[in-house]
Amino acid sequence: MSFPIDISEEAGVRYLHFGSLWIQGAMRIARPWNLELEYTKEMMASLLLREGTRFPRRVLLIGLGAASLTKFLYRNYPLSNLTVVEINPGVVAAAKQFFKLPEDPLRLNIVIGDGARFVEEYEKQFDLILVDGFDENARAGELDTSPFYESCFARLNENGIMAVNLLGRTRGYKASFERISDTFEGRALAFPSCDSGNVIAIAARGKPIKISLDDLKDDAEKMKNKTGLNLLPTIARIEQARTCKGGMLTI
């Protein structure tokens, strides 16, 4: 699959577009390893939900875009092995030329292909799956179907986590979230919509996740010190939305 790829710059930020005004990715030129768009930061909240230095060792990213998530994980989680599936080879070329996508075949495997087919046919499992794939009209297509989410469930290890960007759903995100929740037997949580309109859904299998908001804030503070990423505003929004009964985030 191919579609037009455009690059724009404004106020020190470089943007990726797929032949339209929709922003498909962004990088602050002076800080290429940082996460610029709010929703990419929120997808990284998934990193707070499992304890231990071994999480995440194996990560699957569906949709490369401007390589923001890929670069953040590559730089800040050096024990992680990353597999990125991108359907458009032009996006990979643009990420290398304009967005500083690293080349490291030992840790970073770039696959040109269909994300839905990949998770259906691949046999190994992952600790973390991040889904952020859209076409030039901000449509997710097969990446927002029950069969796709079922394949993702099968590709997660026994304590795996999936995070999905639900932007671009023409009728809102609720139907998409219901498909995710049904697949994961109710073990899913949708964050309150951020300013851009993105809604991040997180789903888990294996050991139940039950973390107090206070502990989550402590872990977010540690992440901020380690990576520079500040997830405290995200946790505050979750708290204000009262989606965590008894002050506990439970998935």
For residue 20, being part of any structural domain is answered with no
pTM: 0.94
For residue 5, being part of any structural domain is answered with no
Confidence of residue 178 (pLDDT cuts 50, 70, 90): very high
For residue 11, being part of any structural domain is answered with no
For residue 148, being part of any structural domain is answered with yes
Provide the CATH number for the domain around residue 101.
Answer: 3.40.50.150
For residue 227, being part of any structural domain is answered with yes
Does 132 qualify as catalytic in the annotation? Answer: yes
For residue 203, being part of any structural domain is answered with yes
- Over residues 228-233, mean pLDDT: 95
Task: Tell me what pLDDT residue 41 has.
Answer: 95
For residue 90, being part of any structural domain is answered with yes
The yes-or-no verdict on residue 139 having pLDDT over 70 is: no
Q: Which of 114, 132, 135, 219 is catalytic?
A: 132
pLDDT tens column, 7-56: 999 999 999 998 877 888 999 999 999 999 999 999 999 999 997 667 89
Task: Tell me what pLDDT residue 169 has.
Answer: 47
Task: Tell me what pLDDT residue 170 has.
Answer: 47
For residue 241, being part of any structural domain is answered with yes
pLDDT tens column, 51-82: 766 789 999 999 999 999 999 999 999 999 99
| Total domain count, the chain | 1
Contact (CB, 8 A) for 43 and 130: yes
Question: Could you tell me the residue range of the domain that residue 133 belongs to?
Answer: 38-250
Buried b (16+ CB within 10 A) or exposed e, 114-138: bbbebbbebeeebbbbbbbbbbeee
The yes-or-no verdict on residue 243 having pLDDT over 80 is: no
Got the DSSP string for the chain?
-----EEEEETTEEEEESSSS---EEEETT-TTS--SHHHHHHGGGGGSS-STTTTSEEEEE--TTSHHHHHHHHH-TT-EEEEEES-HHHHHHHHHHS-----TTTEEEEES-HHHHHHH--S-EEEEEE----TTS--GGGGSHHHHHHHHHHEEEEEEEEEE-TT-BTBSHHHHHHHHHHTTT-EEEPPP-TTS--EEEEE-SSPPEEEHHHHHHHHHHHHHHHS---HHHHHHHHHTT-SGGGEEE-
